[in-house]
């Protein structure tokens, strides 16, 4: 994908995403996912590290309903899904963004079969949705450490003056 697209053009539905990035492909596809509420430095550092693991980076973003089901807190998400997707798509090293409404991105991962599935270091020892599908297809799972002090919950605490 061209790095000169408007961010809106990088926010894709599942069908378009699969058509552009599912196998067979001639590049190394990296996939990660998350809520990405209140985009901050920790997110950018994490996504930059993920991007460096391949040629293309696709980011799955939980819909607003999905975030609420995850129990992130009564008012979450603070940023609407369309805005979160657009902000992520504006990062030049993100090639595509796709919203997903399920509780996990397992179906999206199974459709794309990325070469590299990336999750944060907090997933160490936890089940990673899509791991089996990726590894069975010959891909790998990489855990990327978070930048200390830059979690969304830390940011919310600081904004509220509760630190």
In this predicted model, what pLDDT tens digit does every residue of 80-117 receive, in sequence order? 999 999 999 999 999 999 999 999 999 999 999 999 99
Determine whether domain 27-159 maps to CATH 3.40.640.10: no
At 150 the three-state DSSP class reads coil
Shortest CA distance to 127 belongs to which of 151, 147, 143, 110?
A: 143
pLDDT in tens, 7-50: 999 999 999 999 999 999 999 999 999 999 989 888 999 999 99
How far is residue 77's CA from residue 137's CA, in Å, rounded to a whole number? 34
How far is residue 116's CA from residue 55's CA, in Å, rounded to a whole number? 10
- Dihedral sign, Cα of residue 53, residue 58, residue 63, residue 66: negative
Can you tell me which residue has the tokens 């998350």? 34
How are the residues of the chain apportioned to helix, strand and coil, as percentages rounded to the nearest 5? 40, 20, 45
Q: Is the previous residue joined to 24 through a cis bond, with omega within 30 degrees of 0?
A: yes
pLDDT in tens, 115-160: 999 998 777 778 899 999 999 999 999 999 877 766 666 666 566 6
User: If 0-12 CB within 10 Å is exposed, 13-18 middle and 19+ buried, where does residue 104 land?
Assistant: middle
At 84 the three-state DSSP class reads helix
Question: Would you state the torsion angle of the CA atoms of residues 7, 43, 109, 22, taken in this order, to the nearest 10 degrees?
Answer: 40
pTM for the model stands at 0.91
* pLDDT of res. 120: 87
How far is residue 60's CA from residue 47's CA, in Å, rounded to a whole number? 12
């Amino acid at each position: 994908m061209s790095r000169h697209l408007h961010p809106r053009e990088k926010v894709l539905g599942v069908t378009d995403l699969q058509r552009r990035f599912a196998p067979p492909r001639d590049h190394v596809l990296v996939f990660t996912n998350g809520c990405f509420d209140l985009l901050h430095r920790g997110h950018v550092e994490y996504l930059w590290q993920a991007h460096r693991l391949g040629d293309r980076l696709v980011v799955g973003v939980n819909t607003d309903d999905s975030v609420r089901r995850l129990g992130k807190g009564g008012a979450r998400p603070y940023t609407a899904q369309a805005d979160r997707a657009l902000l992520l798509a504006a990062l030049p090293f993100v090639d595509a963004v796709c919203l997903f409404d399920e509780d996990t991105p397992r179906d999206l991962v199974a459709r794309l079969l990325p070469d590299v599935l990336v999750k944060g270091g907090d997933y160490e020892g936890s089940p990673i949705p899509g791991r089996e599908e990726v590894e069975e297809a010959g891909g790998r799972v990489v855990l990327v450490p978070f930048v200390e002090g830059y979690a969304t919950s830390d940011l919310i605490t600081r904004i509220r003056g509760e630190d």
